[in-house]
Amino acid sequence: MSTSTKDSLRGNRPVDDIDFAAAEFQRDPWPSYDWYREHEPVHLSQRYGAYFVFGYEHVRRVMTSPGFTAFHPFRVSRRAFGPTMLDQEGEHHARLRSAAAAPFRPRAATEFGRRVVAPLAEGMLDDLLRQRRGDFVARLAERLPMAVVCHVMGLPDGDSGRLRDLMRPLVEYVDHGTVSLEEVVAARGELRDYLRDALPAGPGADGLLNALAENGTLSEADVVNTSVLLLAAGTETTAAGITNLLSRVAAEPEVFRRLSDDRSLVPAVVTETLRHEPPLHVTLRFASRDVTLGGVDIPEGAPLQVVLASANRDPAVYPSPHVWDPERTARTPLTFGMGRHVCLGMGLAQQELEIVLHGVLDRIEELELTGGPLATAQGRTFRAVRDSECAYRLRAVSDAGGTT
Ligand code: HEM
């Protein structure tokens, strides 16, 4: 491309290069994604020394083709969680994934949702509403996902606060936070000791932790690392999904009323919110050989930042992609990834979000964000509405009713 052509494009270019740390990007990454998707759908970032992939078709190819791998011995998630299914391929990946799969199969996840998630979510909601304070982030979104994963693992409910604190440095480290590797190593050491102590429950005991230990094909390190991965993967993302969902329905009073009358819309509202404001914007791959993508030659070993969120707003797949429209019937969004590493917990996550929305609709007649017309999601790779303080009017007319 000639310099003059480049300069003429620069006028519309929102940033010189992708910069996750820039305040403007964290507040509103969508114009950057739009620009790159249209002009450079496969972009070599000098700042990160990585190729960024923005278009739906290119993202789909990277996630599904053997020309790209999730394996790299030094990738950040591996430093945080240890080697896990997230960064393994082939037989080792298949073994780790199948050892953990049972509770996440569709029928098991639905049954678990009804038996465990619904009472947990309802208890937290009742607790929150009784306090007459609408801080959905601290009282529901950040609590429920860890409580759910603890139940899946067979860990005591009472430990979820401590586990959330221990997981925080690991999650922030993966999200390019300012946490040092020393802090991560210390938290991981504590997690490992905690999980080892929780282990000798013996055959027949409930929970995935025990099932992993009894599986017979996994080393102790595999058991610990898989558990740490599940504690991380199932919590930050789902918490963000819950706040993004509640802030969205609070911002759409008409939709909230329609949902109250017709609960069959709940799954579509959840799916469209996850497309429009996905909790996890980016994942990582590496070229497993020299490969050409979107006309760009990528050398073997090069890292690719795969921008799932940008693919979710590709106008070639989703007409008027920035419009939140629960009635769309387009292809499945890439919120949970695609291919052999597609999110193991996606059925459970969808359940959690639907259950929370049903719980809110059962109890609340009107919901309104007090932080502005629509609190915006913020963050780098994990993006969530951080402040979802709401005003609400309870459905039941009782002495607990009224607007907070
Ligand atoms: C809204 C919530 C969630 C979102 C947006 C989400 C997103 C994702 C994405 C995009 C991937 C693929 C990463 C890649 O290919 O590099 C993934 C993988 C994974 N997720 Fe989720 N996730 C969510 C909830 C959960 C839950 C609830 C669990 C389990 C408790 C979970 C467990 C996993 C695991 C184990 C993997 C690795 C799968 C593999 O590598 O084979 N996730 N998730």
Cβ–ligand 1 distance for 283 under 6 Å, the answer yes
Confidence of residue 377 (pLDDT cuts 50, 70, 90): low
Phi, psi angles (nearest 5°) of residue 70 = -90, -10
Give the pLDDT confidence score for residue 85 in this predicted structure: 97
- Ligand 1: which atom is nearest the Cα of residue 84? 40
Confidence of residue 349 (pLDDT cuts 50, 70, 90): very high
CA of 53 to the centre of ligand 1 (A): 19
Domains of the chain: 3-394 (1.10.630.10)
* Spatial distance between the Cα atoms of 26 and 13, rounded to a whole number of angstroms: 16
Residue 2 has pLDDT above 50, yes or no: no
Give the pLDDT confidence score for residue 3 in this predicted structure: 35
Q: Whose CA is nearest to atom 43 of ligand 1?
A: 343
- Tens digit of each residue's pLDDT (9 = 90 or more) over 98-112: 999 999 999 999 999
Burial of 321: CB neighbours in 10 Å, binned 0-12, 13-18, 19+: buried
Q: Cα 69 to chain center, whole Å?
A: 20
Give the pLDDT confidence score for residue 15 in this predicted structure: 58
Which of 75-89, 203-217, 376-390 has the highest mean predicted lDDT (pLDDT)? 75-89
Give the pLDDT confidence score for residue 396 in this predicted structure: 62
Q: Whose CA is nearest to atom 18 of ligand 1?
A: 343
Higher pLDDT, 117 or 178: 117
Q: Whose CA is nearest to atom 6 of ligand 1?
A: 336
Cβ–ligand 1 distance for 231 under 6 Å, the answer no
Give the pLDDT confidence score for residue 322 in this predicted structure: 97
Cβ–ligand 1 distance for 312 under 6 Å, the answer no
Cβ–ligand 1 distance for 70 under 6 Å, the answer yes
- The overall average pLDDT reported for the chain is 87
Contacts of 217 (CB under 8 A, 6+ apart): 95, 99
Cβ–ligand 1 distance for 273 under 6 Å, the answer no
Give the pLDDT confidence score for residue 294 in this predicted structure: 96
Give the pLDDT confidence score for residue 89 in this predicted structure: 96
How far CA 37 is from CA of 42, 56, 306, in Å, comes to: 8, 9, 12
Higher pLDDT, 251 or 341: 341
Give the pLDDT confidence score for residue 382 in this predicted structure: 75
Cβ count within 10 A of residue 58: 23
Mean local confidence (pLDDT), 316-323: 96
CA of 345 to the centre of ligand 1 (A): 6
Give the pLDDT confidence score for residue 250 in this predicted structure: 87
- Tens digit of each residue's pLDDT (9 = 90 or more) over 34-57: 999 999 999 999 999 999 999 999
To the nearest 10 degrees (0 to 180), the angle between helices 236-251 and 266-276 is 110
Cβ–ligand 1 distance for 335 under 6 Å, the answer yes
Cβ–ligand 1 distance for 334 under 6 Å, the answer no
Give the pLDDT confidence score for residue 147 in this predicted structure: 95
* Spatial distance between the Cα atoms of 88 and 81, rounded to a whole number of angstroms: 12
Residue 324 has pLDDT above 60, yes or no: yes
* Spatial distance between the Cα atoms of 402 and 404, rounded to a whole number of angstroms: 6
